Structure 1
Amino acid sequence: MAERSFRGGGRHRGGRGRGSFRGGRGGRGNVPWHRQEGYNDAVASSVDEADVGIRSFVSDVKGFNGLVKQRFSDFIVREVPIERTPIARLTELELPVQPKKNRSVHTMLYDAIESYLGISCEKSTSWKAKKENTNGEKASSEMQGIFDVLTKRLVEKFVANGQEGQLFAMKKDIKDFAAKIAECVGEEDAELLKSFLDQLVAAKSDEEKHDLVFYFQPIHVRELRTTIHTIIREYGRLVVADTTADTSGQNTVIRLRPTLKKGKRKDMDDRGSRRDSNWPHNRPDYVKFVLYKKNKETVDAMQHIGKILRLNDKLFSYAGTKDKRGLTTQWVTGYRISRETIATINQSKQYQKNYDQYPFLVGNFSYVKEPLTLGDLYGNQFGIVIRNIPNEITDQEISNAVNSWVTHGFVNYFGLQRFGTKSIPSHIVGRAFLRKDFKLVADLILGPKEGDASKIKEARVHFQQYKDVEAALRMFPPFLVAENAVLDGFSRFGIESYERAVRNIPVKLRMIYTHAYQSYVWNEAASYRLSHYSSTKPVVGDMVLRGAIEVDPEAEVEETKDENPAKKRRRIMESDIIFITEDNINEYSIEDVVLPVHGYTTYLPKNTVASIYERCTSQDGVDFKSLRRDQAPEFNLPGSYRNIIRKPEGARHEVKRYNDETIPLMQSEVDIMLNRPPVPSIPDGAYRAICLEFILRIDMTNIFCTDFNVESSSYATMAIRELLKQNSSIHVQLQLNDQAKPKSIPIGRPGFSLGKN
């Protein structure tokens, strides 16, 4: 029922004042303090492949050296939808319509009277005043006064009519709202809701309606709750809805509170905003468009776009995230946002329509009924330039290597980016998490690391020596999220409160650590499997899955907070798994073989590969099954399954010679859109590069796993590693980059780690 809920003055944790302190540190010009000297001398680094289990190759065909991602324009990614067409391409760049300047009522009145009388009211005087200039000035002044009075009255009338119209529209919405609710929960509750909404309309200020609140009666049928939420989004522009406990604290109910003109509610549902009431009824709810971005992560791009459009970025959804370092295009959907609004992204005074400089562009708009969700894609099309191919490698040898790569595929390893860019890889921190050794977690995060910038190294050493939390908080730059979170936890809970400090790290980052450990174990298992058994066919004890895993409403599912039952995540059961035996071994290929991404629901192969997983409990001290009872998100690791071998699709390559290393060798979306011709190969060019294009599909068997976007994805860097037979570690790329004329480094062979020979 409707009632006033007077909130107490509970404890509110505000900022710690670090922002004002840091803001006062100043710096040179507009450069932030954490971007100045001592913070920008870090050395790029990554762990070595062998340290994270990457050791094997599928074939022993000769590889060669090459520079990968030397420039961000050398890495192009285009999303491939489930239907496989159309691939996300920016072919139609929509520019925003320039709005016309609104003329004032005063100006329009002048124009109307001028037109009616056939004279210029501002420049002419009355016919009597023409005889004497002074009288003309007096007449003009009187005319100006008349215009001012008329204008004021017209504006007052316009405002009054507008307010009356708004009130009429609100009352109609309330009537329709109550009628729809009555169909769901009955007339009595609908009347109470109408009374509550009438109070909101009658309230003249935010203060009067701030504490008004309405609780629905407990509704135990999920479909009915979903229907009510839909009705609220369509008609409830005066309120924001959420789910909370009722006044007794015993039942979970839907709560309505007023939207405020000046105040803010963190839990406000943007879909209930004013723009919903203006959305055309015959238009689908979602706008779909292509997002083209340059050297920017998808999440960052969407947050930036949300700020530009002054919209919550949660209104947007997409099928998968794309790499930062590269040129990428993907489909995005937005809830009840017009294409004209989103097209304003393409208008920037800063870049003056120099589209090569834009960090992102949008186009190819359409309206659709359903939003995109994670996994709504077949895969990704990659365009990769591999530069500085050694002169001793012939074009024929390149073709042979590409053909072998397409035929045999590559080991579907989790790539090095999965394990971070620090000397202490993410899976080491994840292992400490899974052991629940929170002191070790804190020490690993805060301790000195190879390659750190000098000021950051100084901050780490200082904290190690003196344990001065406040000093460390002032010294650590804000982009070290985990470090600052742990230190903030120490500041709030005490220097010995390791668990509480570590749990102060953002949830998604904690999950990255534990998922990295799962990835490490999978990599180790894959290397063992390929070095001890065949790399071209299944063996007895291997595991395969029974085709695509469909949603089964009766099957065990991973619970989510989402009201939509279709978004529950399906677990793979034992009945979905087939173990290879002597009888069925000829029915499957190496591409069918999967290995578990270890978790508390996964099953193990029935051969010696299982020993790698058993080592987790014995050697690493990680017991996944014991984590089932822990409710912390980083321990929610049911696991999934991942194909051991993957093959590129639709692969084609071209060898190009060039002289200028700064020229992009593949066409970007902007190049194609502006009809720029491809960069030709120079016959006697000083350098050679391979322009390679291929598709990697996602693993549809994992579409309902808890870490879908990670566990189902194949890494393009691992695909290229197989082609080149070259270590993908950063130090190898840096070494090659420093060589004017790269020389061949030792070529690895299956079962051995490059760089560790």
Structure 2
Amino acid sequence: MGVVRGQEVAEALRSRTAVRLFIYKMEERPLDLDSLSYITDHTGFYGTIKNSPADFAVTEIDVTGQLVTKGCTDVNEELQTQHNTEENFKKTRLCPSTAEAEMKDKLVRDICEAVLEKVDNVFEDQDLPECEADLYNVVNTLLSLDVQESLTKFACSVRSAFESKVSGDDQCELSLGLFPDKSARASIHSAVRQTFPFLLTFTRSPEVLVKPNLDYQELSLLTSEEEADKFFTFLDAKVNSSRFTFQPDVCKEHRKSVHHFISKKFGKLVETKSFSEKSTDGLQKVCITVRFRERKRQRSEENPDIFTAFTLEKENLETLEAIGYLASSLGVLPSDFSYAGIKDKKAITYQSVVVKKVTPERLRGAEVLFKKKGMRIYNIHPTSQHLHLGQLTGNHFTIVVRDVKCHAGDMSEDLENRVEEAVCNVKNRGFINYYGPQRFGKGRNVQSHEIGLALLKEEMAQAIKLFFTPEDGDDPVNKAKKYFFQTEDIKGTLPLMPAYKVRERMLLRALNRYGISDDGCIRGWLSIPHSMRIFYIHAYCSKVWNEAASYRIATYGSKAVEGDLIFHNQDTSETSSLSDRVHIVTAAEEEEGVYSIHQVVLPMPGHSIKYPTNQVGQWYREALASAGLQSCKFRVGTLQLNIPGCYRHIIKYPHNLICEPIIEIDKQSLEKDSEHATSQKPTLKLSFQLDSSCYATVCLREMMKCNF
């Protein structure tokens, strides 16, 4: 095992006393990776990266495993391809026997015909979309024959109980199966409720279940089952501007009971009115009409959420900085943008982004503004929802390593062997899955994790002070920070702060309005989006994780030992909580070698995680206490921040790692002697993929034994 720390520190870390010493040493200087352990013991080699943004290309891999590239995609063609794929799947899937298939087909057709007839009767005067095929496909595709038969029997038993006036058993349930896909669950809910209005569907994690609809039973005692059927079909369909009218009712008290029932159960959704009219025989008849509340529905329809997805190419820009430019150009808030992950600054990157409240046409119209800031957008198309952080499979990297040579003091003259050894080691043994330096910022005076610690301790004024602490340099941002730091003149600082520094300007405007008291500082932090606020706390938790991982490898090496945590990557259909899926390695399991190091995880601090039960768990307790967080609940209510914690694998592996040498002639040598230019700069081109939340610089650190 190779460790970059000195032998004295490595030995000292094995004792509890040294834990405090280690924490102190880690706290007394800016955070970097210099003092953290390695998992492999090869020598490595020297080289430089990010000599220019073009030397470091990052392409996001979406949840379907496809690269997010700049190549324009015809959306209609894509949808057609998706449709064809689904059709081929249906044709090639394992099917029941012909007799069973015919029985299933007939059952589904009968169900759909009954529903359509019922819908036609309910909405006699409404223009309805063609829904027979939709109902048929939902029931036929998503529910197996056995489940359909069980559902029909269950429905018959509930109907019989209702007809016999027996009180419904709300505890009686039937499972329709597990449906991890949200849209599939929604389709099942709608199809079953339209088919059987006297049943209620609900979700328990990804499982869809049905039970008797006791509201239906209550209404059927006031009216008839036929009217109850039609009313609940009307209610579930939610057809725009539709109305439902009960049969004429001469009894005022009875009408009052119906009004009261509907208002009590569904008053937020619908409203009722009694209308009086004369019949053909001259008698006065009163009917109850139900309609959806127009005000809420109109507001929703007049201002629907508009989402536009696109591929963002940026060069030499931070992701949040790029979002700030986009927001400023489009006249929307940075919080209206969503993305799956933060990408490197000094690089050319491609990633998926979704913007809210901006149409595709408007986005295309602003393209020329983005190009001036080193950004381009591609694949613009409407979408139905925003993105979530982590909603990606990983990233593909193409990296050029220049000025490749052996490390200083390495007497080997076989550079090629050094490179081959390093690449093979990382392929086979992986790398310690540290958070990369970009997680913490490049500040020398203040880094993101220090601001996060102040926020966790609810030292809001201190967090503001750290946030505006200037770095060395005379650029406009540092000039503005220096002015604020020296004068606390908020009004004077605002015009000095560049427009693209969105977070800084948001905070300054809030402080100008509310002052720099504790309450004003809280309001200042609340003025920036939640994702930006929690970023700083995540930075601190990431720092703790890095140091814990280094301590774990230095203490126990590269095997799973007693007290380690193992994350069981169960199917998404499991209903257990995250910590329930974490297993603590026993002494017997360590002895038998049941688990390997790549299965071991360490927790990111939070309120809902387990800690290892070996010395690493003690290390966490000592580290948090040293930072003044011994009683921290990892909830900052004043800032609406909740930090449950998570688990992260200690070891990760690059996928499809390819290393190619590139020979580049030294241009200066060529200019001096064009005929005898022999000076060459060894250069490598590395191509590989990493899982989400893994850092290419950390993988290269393990490979090259260099810090970047």
Task: Provide TM-score, normalisation by structure 2.
Answer: 0.56
Distance 1:217 1:727, change over 3 A: farther
Alignment of 1:641-656 (within 5 A): 641-656=647-662
Q: Which amino acid aligns with 1:579?
A: I
Residue 381 of structure 1 and its aligned partner are, at CA, apart by: 1.6
Asked if the contact 2:564/2:614 (under 8 Å) is kept, the reply is: yes
Q: Which amino acid aligns with 2:685?
A: C
Q: Which amino acid aligns with 2:613?
A: K
Asked if 1:446 corresponds to 2:468, the answer is yes
The equivalent residue for 1:120 is none
Residue 433 of structure 1 and its aligned partner are, at CA, apart by: 1.0
Asked if 1:696 corresponds to 2:677, the answer is no
The equivalent residue for 2:594 is 587
The equivalent residue for 1:115 is none
Distance 1:253 1:380, change over 3 A: farther
The equivalent residue for 2:38 is 57
Counterpart among 532, 544, 547 of residue 524 in structure 1: 547
Q: SS state of the match for residue 59, structure 2?
A: strand
CA displacement, residues 492-522 of structure 1 (integer Å, 9 cap, x when unaligned) = 2334345435434513322111111111111
The equivalent residue for 1:437 is 459
Which one has the bigger helix percentage?
2
The equivalent residue for 1:397 is 418
Q: State how far apart, in whole Å, the 1-side matches of 2:524 and 2:655 are.
A: 43
Distance 1:270 1:715, change over 3 A: same
Q: Which amino acid aligns with 1:533?
A: Y
Asked if the contact 2:49/2:401 (under 8 Å) is kept, the reply is: yes
The equivalent residue for 2:567 is 545
Q: State how far apart, in whole Å, the 2-side matches of 1:342 and 1:467 are.
A: 40
Residue 443 of structure 1 and its aligned partner are, at CA, apart by: 2.2
Residue 91 of structure 1 and its aligned partner are, at CA, apart by: 4.9
Alignment of 1:160-199 (within 5 A): none
Q: State how far apart, in whole Å, the 2-side matches of 1:485 and 1:320 are.
A: 22
Q: SS state of the match for residue 602, structure 1?
A: coil
Moved more, 289-298 or 487-496: 289-298
Asked if 1:360 corresponds to 2:383, the answer is no
Residue 655 of structure 1 and its aligned partner are, at CA, apart by: 0.9
Asked if 1:325 corresponds to 2:332, the answer is no
Distance 1:576 1:624, change over 3 A: farther
Distance 1:503 1:623, change over 3 A: farther
Q: State how far apart, in whole Å, the 1-side matches of 2:479 and 2:657 are.
A: 48
Alignment of 1:231-380 (within 5 A): 255-257=296-298, 268-271=303-306, 292-296=313-317, 319-330=340-351, 359-363=375-379, 374-380=389-395
The equivalent residue for 1:410 is 431
CA displacement, residues 583-628 of structure 1 (integer Å, 9 cap, x when unaligned) = 2221211111100001011111011111232124422112565344
Residue 431 of structure 1 and its aligned partner are, at CA, apart by: 0.9
Q: State how far apart, in whole Å, the 1-side matches of 2:75 and 2:399 are.
A: 30
Q: How many residues align?
A: 479
Q: Which amino acid aligns with 1:538?
A: A
Asked if 1:611 corresponds to 2:605, the answer is no
Q: Which amino acid aligns with 2:305?
A: D
Gaps of 5+ in 2: 1-27, 77-123, 132-189, 195-229, 244-261, 271-292, 407-412, 669-675
Q: SS state of the match for residue 405, structure 1?
A: helix
The equivalent residue for 1:719 is 699
Asked if the contact 1:431/1:517 (under 8 Å) is kept, the reply is: yes
Distance 1:318 1:436, change over 3 A: closer
Q: Report percent identity of matched pairs.
A: 27
Q: Which amino acid aligns with 2:569?
A: G
Distance 1:661 1:495, change over 3 A: farther
Q: State how far apart, in whole Å, the 2-side matches of 1:394 and 1:508 are.
A: 45
Q: State how far apart, in whole Å, the 2-side matches of 1:79 and 1:189 are.
A: 39
Asked if the contact 1:53/1:520 (under 8 Å) is kept, the reply is: no
Residue 420 of structure 1 and its aligned partner are, at CA, apart by: 1.5
Q: SS state of the match for residue 389, structure 1?
A: strand
Q: SS state of the match for residue 488, structure 1?
A: helix
Asked if the contact 1:64/1:389 (under 8 Å) is kept, the reply is: yes
Asked if the contact 2:324/2:500 (under 8 Å) is kept, the reply is: no
Distance 1:630 1:309, change over 3 A: closer
CA displacement, residues 182-220 of structure 1 (integer Å, 9 cap, x when unaligned) = 97695899999679xxxxxxxxxxxxxxxxxxxx97988
Counterpart among 536, 553, 556 of residue 533 in structure 1: 556
Q: SS state of the match for residue 413, structure 1?
A: coil
Q: Which amino acid aligns with 1:601?
A: S
Gaps of 5+ in 1: 1-46, 97-171, 196-215, 229-251, 272-285, 556-570, 663-681, 699-712, 729-757
Counterpart among 383, 398, 420 of residue 383 in structure 1: 398
Asked if the contact 1:62/1:725 (under 8 Å) is kept, the reply is: yes
Asked if the contact 1:75/1:384 (under 8 Å) is kept, the reply is: yes
Residue 725 of structure 1 and its aligned partner are, at CA, apart by: 0.9
Q: State how far apart, in whole Å, the 2-side matches of 1:453 and 1:173 are.
A: 72
Residue 331 of structure 1 and its aligned partner are, at CA, apart by: 5.4
Q: State how far apart, in whole Å, the 2-side matches of 1:188 and 1:549 are.
A: 32
CA displacement, residues 529-561 of structure 1 (integer Å, 9 cap, x when unaligned) = 111221x211221111112462545x5xxxxxx
Alignment of 1:108-127 (within 5 A): none
Q: State how far apart, in whole Å, the 2-side matches of 1:367 and 1:454 are.
A: 39
Asked if 1:686 corresponds to 2:708, the answer is no
Q: State how far apart, in whole Å, the 1-side matches of 2:499 and 2:357 are.
A: 35
The equivalent residue for 1:419 is 440
Distance 1:464 1:297, change over 3 A: closer
| More relative contact order, 1 or 2 (CA 8 Å, 6+ apart) | 1
Distance 1:374 1:484, change over 3 A: closer
Q: State how far apart, in whole Å, the 1-side matches of 2:526 and 2:309 are.
A: 37
The equivalent residue for 1:578 is 583
Asked if the contact 1:526/1:595 (under 8 Å) is kept, the reply is: yes
Distance 1:385 1:183, change over 3 A: farther
Which one has the bigger strand percentage?
2
Distance 1:54 1:533, change over 3 A: same
Residue 399 of structure 1 and its aligned partner are, at CA, apart by: 1.0
Asked if the contact 2:315/2:345 (under 8 Å) is kept, the reply is: yes
